[in-house]
């Protein structure tokens, strides 16, 4: 069972290295980013499919209207046939673009959606199984080393404090020799204090060196454990990168209608741009900038000095004024908000496409529902007719007058299903009706 810990509190940040306590969270976050990127890629293809469909319909309407005008007009003979051939070209191109729309939605869109479901497994309490496994693996590998690091910092602080106390005691003894008002007994006490401080310095120094040695002995095992978990995350990310490259190449083939030089040049450039994508190079960059390839300021023994102590004191005062940065702190507050599902703006949710975009194809992916019951983004917005009680997973503050505001755990009633932009209409228990992001709530069983 995973146990939440926060051993990094009080540990001074020396670098932004992967090896610092808590800095593995960037690698863990990459898993959730991968899921979001799958959704972004689906939305990208969704919008392109709409454009292809609209263009095809506009070509068909243009060809029909001008064919009638030419047939009824004064033009005749072979020139008339040549003119009509222009409309035939538009009708054929329209058919090709409808095929592009179908390929994007029936093949590419569905392939990404299915891969996303297979690669990322949602948990009952929110988040993904893969994220939790990576988080637990890093915590388990880091916890013993983080505990020893905390002991090193405490030992160093105690040693430096003893050195400071010794210097103060020696200064008092030196000054007392020049004070004739002090009796021998008082001088003896000052001398004893100096001797005691020297003993404290030796003890704290020995403890500091011992804890630093133990930390060094545990570092190889710490690095091995962290590297092992990191490589597992790299392998998971490699699958996504290679899959994206594969899908994008398939998209390129579906979009390529080139029969003329200009089209060939455009899609040749597109293919070359996609083929430049290299999963190995991406992984190498991430490793060098956010992984084990980063440099690390490993803790080393630091001798105490008065000048260093004054510098540290000034730096600590500045941190108090400017704010202190800690690493390894459990994700709360604003960091938790960053991991919430994204929602579209009020401007975006009000945008709609022309009504002439719909068609009556029985197998059209713009109006069908998949076997798992997931609604297709091309379904028309229609009230469900059934009210459902839902519970908020996250806090949401309405940005417009027609949006609802609620806190995580609040219950409300969904009165209309999710629209194309990911919004639902609901009613709070106080009677207020408005819109809210669909992925901020879950149905109450």
pLDDT, tens digit, 9 for 90 and up, residues 13-23: 457 899 998 88
Q: How confident is the model at residue 406 (pLDDT cuts 50, 70, 90)?
A: very high
Rounded (10°) angle between helices 306-322 and 129-177:
130
How many CB atoms are located within 10 Å of the residue 365 CB?
22
pLDDT of amino acid 319: 42
pLDDT of amino acid 260: 42
**pLDDT of 379 strictly over 60:** no
Q: Which residue has the tokens 């028309």?
A: 380
Work out the angle at residue 30's Cα, subtended by the Cα atoms of residues 325 and 290, and round it to the nearest 5 degrees. Answer: 55
Domains and CATH numbers, the chain: 129-227 (1.20.1270.60), 388-443 (2.30.30.40)
Whether pTM > 0.75 for this model: the answer is no
194-207 pLDDT per residue, tens: 888 989 999 999 99
Whether the CB-CB separation of 413 and 388 falls below 8 Å is answered with: yes
pLDDT of amino acid 385: 55
Name the phi and psi angles at 151, rounded to 5: -65, -40
210-263 pLDDT per residue, tens: 999 989 999 999 899 999 999 999 999 999 999 999 999 999 888 887 654 544
Q: How confident is the model at residue 47 (pLDDT cuts 50, 70, 90)?
A: very high
**pLDDT of 53 strictly over 70:** yes
**pLDDT of 26 strictly over 80:** yes
**pLDDT of 321 strictly over 70:** no
Q: How far is CA 108 from CA 96, 185, 277, 420, in A?
A: 17, 92, 18, 19
111-165 pLDDT per residue, tens: 999 999 999 999 888 889 999 999 999 999 999 989 999 999 999 999 999 999 9
- State the Cα–Cα distance between residues 420 and 344, nearest whole angstrom: 11
Averaged pLDDT for residues 409-431: 92
Q: What share of the chain in percent tops pLDDT 90?
A: 43
Query: Which residues make Cβ contacts (< 8 Å) with residue 237, sequence separation at least 6?
Result: 30, 31, 34, 283, 286
pLDDT of amino acid 85: 74
Averaged pLDDT for residues 70-80: 81
- State the Cα–Cα distance between residues 30 and 18, nearest whole angstrom: 14
pLDDT of amino acid 127: 87
Token pair belonging to 61: 């309407």
Check residues 408 and 273 and name the one with the higher pLDDT: 408
Check residues 170 and 75 and name the one with the higher pLDDT: 170
pLDDT of amino acid 351: 42
Work out the angle at residue 185's Cα, subtended by the Cα atoms of residues 179 and 190, and round it to the nearest 5 degrees. Answer: 65
**pLDDT of 54 strictly over 90:** yes
pLDDT of amino acid 226: 93
- State the Cα–Cα distance between residues 440 and 390, nearest whole angstrom: 10
Compute the mean pLDDT over every residue in the chain, rounded to the nearest whole number: 77
Q: How confident is the model at residue 308 (pLDDT cuts 50, 70, 90)?
A: low
């Amino acid at each position: 069972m995973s146990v939440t810990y926060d051993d990094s509190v009080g540990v001074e940040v020396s670098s932004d290295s992967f090896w610092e306590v808590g800095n593995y969270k960037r690698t863990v976050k990459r898993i959730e980013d991968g899921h979001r990127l799958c959704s972004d890629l689906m939305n990208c293809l969704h919008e392109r499919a709409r454009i292809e469909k609209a263009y095809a319909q506009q070509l068909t309407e243009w060809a029909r209207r001008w064919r009638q005008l030419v047939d009824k007009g004064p033009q005749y003979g072979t020139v008339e046939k040549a003119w009509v051939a222009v409309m035939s070209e538009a009708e054929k191109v329209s058919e090709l673009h409808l095929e592009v729309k179908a390929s994007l939605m029936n093949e590419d869109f569905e392939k990404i959606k299915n891969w996303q479901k297979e690669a990322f497994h949602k948990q009952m309490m929110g988040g993904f199984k893969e994220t939790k496994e990576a988080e637990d693996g890093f915590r388990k590998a880091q916890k013993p080393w983080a505990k020893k690091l905390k002991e090193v910092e405490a030992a160093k602080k105690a040693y430096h404090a003893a050195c400071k106390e010794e210097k103060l005691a020696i200064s008092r003894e030196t000054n007392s020799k020049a004070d004739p008002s002090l009796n021998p007994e008082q001088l003896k006490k000052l001398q004893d204090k100096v001797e005691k401080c020297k003993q404290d310095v030796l003890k704290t120094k020995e403890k500091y060196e011992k804890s630093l040695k133990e930390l060094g002995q545990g570092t190889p095992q710490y690095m091995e454990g962290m590297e092992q978990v990191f490589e597992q995350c790299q392998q998971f990310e490699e699958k996504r990168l290679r899959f994206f490259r594969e899908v994008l190449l398939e998209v390129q083939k579906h979009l390529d209608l080139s029969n003329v030089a200009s089209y060939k040049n455009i899609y040749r450039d597109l293919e070359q741009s996609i083929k430049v994508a290299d999963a190995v190079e991406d992984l190498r960059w991430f490793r060098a900038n956010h992984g084990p390839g980063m440099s690390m300021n490993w803790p080393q023994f630091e001798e105490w000095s008065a000048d260093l102590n004054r510098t540290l004191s000034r730096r600590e005062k500045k941190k108090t004024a400017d704010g202190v940065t800690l690493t390894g702190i459990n994700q709360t507050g604003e960091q938790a908000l960053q991991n919430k599902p994204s929602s579209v703006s009020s401007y975006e949710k009000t945008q709609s496409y022309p009504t002439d975009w719909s068609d009556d194809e029985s197998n059209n992916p713009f109006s069908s529902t998949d076997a798992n019951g997931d609604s297709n983004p091309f379904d028309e917005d229609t009230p469900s007719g059934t009210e459902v009680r839902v519970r908020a997973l996250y806090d949401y503050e309405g940005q417009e007058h027609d949006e609802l505001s609620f806190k995580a755990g609040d219950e409300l009633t969904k009165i209309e299903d999710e629209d194309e932009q990911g919004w639902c209409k609901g009613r709070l228990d106080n009677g207020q009706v408005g819109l809210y992001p669909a992925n901020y709530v879950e149905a109450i069983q």
